[in-house]
Amino acid sequence: MTTLYERAAPPVPLAARRSPAGPVLALLWAGAAAVLVLWWTGTGSVVGAAGWLTGAGRIAGLLCGYSCAVLVGLMARVPLLERRVGSDRVARWHAMAGRYTVCLLLAHIGLILTGYAAQDSASLWHEAVTVVLDYPDMLKATAGTVILLAVGVTSARAVRRRTGHEFWYYLHLLTYAAVFLAFGHQLALGNDLSGNAVATAAWYTLYLGVAALVLWFRILTPVRLNLRHRLRVESVHQEARGVWSVVVAGRKLDQLGAQAGQFFRWRFLAEGLRWTSTPYSLSAPPRSDRMRITVKALGDHSAAVALLRPGTRVWAEGPYGSLTGDRRTSSKALLIGGGVGITPLRALFETLPGEVTLLYRARTVEDLALGGELEAVARWRGAKVHYALNGPDGQRPSITAGSLRAAVPDLAGHDVYLCGPHGFAQDLYEELRAAGVPDRRIHHESFEL
């Protein structure tokens, strides 16, 4: 394996594609509107405080049931969403849908119980016990509610930072069980669904369709990928201080359709790693027989990657992500990478067509991962590489709108691909906007929710 990872063919211009994010969001909100129409057409006159409370609880319940389906659908890793909309945007949608779901769930419980209690002239506690123990499918629905609330609490940023990734990940998977447990009571007790054959069929179609997406893209597609391509670790190389590259070999990898800038979710079948699936970007253009990732030791999992041995089996899912040449709108591009965020940009630097400039932010020269490859690619394609390193006293260089315009003439006419820590990317985004770069030309993926 050469340091340059076998230089790719010259970049070939690609036609830019529009993101389907707008139509997808419109479709999701149209579904919510259809749920409200379902309630409106199935509701007669509302009388008294108890009637209004119960009606509001029914609306919240219907929207919560719909939101549960959307929540699971966004977890299905559908290629149209993961590759065209972008994994980071889908992750944000999923997080937002989760917040909506929990709020609607709490509103549904509170409003329905209060309405029932007012109607029966009973206490909230008595009504809650009666509903849970005597109503059909409510014990299962209660179990599903507890799971959903637990997932919601552990997904809050403050809590998630204090829990291990593995605990959060496997608890998150229980969302499937929660939705399954709660489904029965929606049909048994939902006035808008019970006795309405068309609405019931639509509800079944919604949930079975989402289940089919999960089964196909989360289970069957990864199984097919790994049985067909038989991925194994070929070699591990140190690139910089605490940074390692892993070359993964396999069969017919060009049929994966992976592009520079994308990532896979990797599960290395070695001790201490087999139970965790972690996203790592491709740090070189994919080949027909191998792919490469570059990992910085930031935790137990990423540090253990350096200890992988050749021959270790690899389970991968993907490719995912939309930080690719498909996003470009101009023949000129500026790539800005911070730290290990250089990895997807390294692959783009080699393959992105047109005039390309790279800005690499790192602490010291020793922290420049893949620096030799970047220089070689720059010489080969006549591109420019700029470095932003700390001064001798450790002071960080200031990357401002003015310095960016000075380094890159006609900056506003460039597509900018940005990858790095969340704070770094946020600061650079503000400076790029101040420098006159349109929002549509700043391309960035982040997994900070």
Q: What is the mean pLDDT of the chain?
A: 88
Write 14-21 long-range contacts (CB < 8 A, 24+): 14/325, 14/326, 14/328, 14/353, 16/326, 16/327, 16/328, 16/329, 17/84, 17/326, 19/84, 19/85, 19/86, 19/322, 20/80, 20/84, 20/85, 21/85, 21/86, 21/89
375-to-1, 332, 355, 356, 411 alpha-carbon distances in Å: 18, 19, 16, 13, 22
Note the pLDDT of residue 12: 47
25 and 144 part of one domain:
yes
Does residue 300 share a domain with residue 345?
Answer: no
- The pair phi, psi for residue 84, each rounded to 5°, is -100, -45
Q: Are residues 303 and 266 in the same domain?
A: yes
Residue 236 lies in a domain: yes
CB-CB contact of 268 with 312 (8 Å): yes
279 and 379 within one domain: no
- Does a structural domain hold residue 449? no
Cβ neighbours around 405 below 10 Å, total? 17
Among 224, 259, 290, the domain boundary falls at: 224
Choose one of 224, 245, 271: the last residue of a domain. Answer: 224
- Contact between 239 and 245 under an 8 Å Cβ cutoff? The reply is yes
- Domain shared by 209 and 268, yes or no: no
| 384 three-class SS | strand
Burial of 70 (0-12, 13-18, 19+ CB in 10 A): buried
Name the phi and psi angles at 258, rounded to 5: -70, 145
In the numeric block, which tokens belong to residue 148? 């959903």
57: which residues sit within 8 A by CB, 6+ positions away?
Answer: 107, 108, 109, 110, 111, 112, 113, 114, 115
| Assigned token pair, 247 | 């070359």
Residue matched to tokens 């609490």: 153
- Same domain? 165 vs 25: yes
Q: What CATH number does the domain containing 286 carry? A: 2.40.30.10
Residue finishing a domain among 285, 320, 355: 320
435 and 418 together in one domain: yes
Query: In 26-179, at which residue ranges do the beta strands (DSSP E only) sit?
Result: none
Answer yes or no: is 310 within a domain.
yes
Q: Examine the domain organization and report whether 348 and 298 are in the same domain.
A: no
Structure-block tokens of residue 31:
């579904």
411 contacts 332 by C-beta, under 8 angstroms: no
**Is 86 within the bounds of a domain?**
yes
Rg of the Cα trace of the chain? 26
Task: Report the 10 Å Cβ neighbour count for 160.
Answer: 16
Assess if residue 154 is contained within a domain.
yes
Is residue 299 domain-shared with residue 406, that is, in the same domain? no
Q: In this structure, what CATH number is given to the domain that contains residue 420? A: 3.40.50.80
Q: Looking at the 3D structure of the chain, how many domains does it have?
A: 3
Closest CA to 237 of 305, 315, 337, 314: 305
> What is the pLDDT, as a whole number, of residue 264?
95
Structure tokens at 135: 């109503």
Does 11 map to a domain? Answer: no
Domain contains 16:
no
Residues 150 and 270 in one domain: no
Same domain, 165 and 28: yes
> Same domain for 338 and 384?
yes
> Which residues constitute the domain of residue 198?
21-224
Residue 13 within a domain: no
Residue spans of the chain under pLDDT 50: 1-9, 12, 14-15, 449
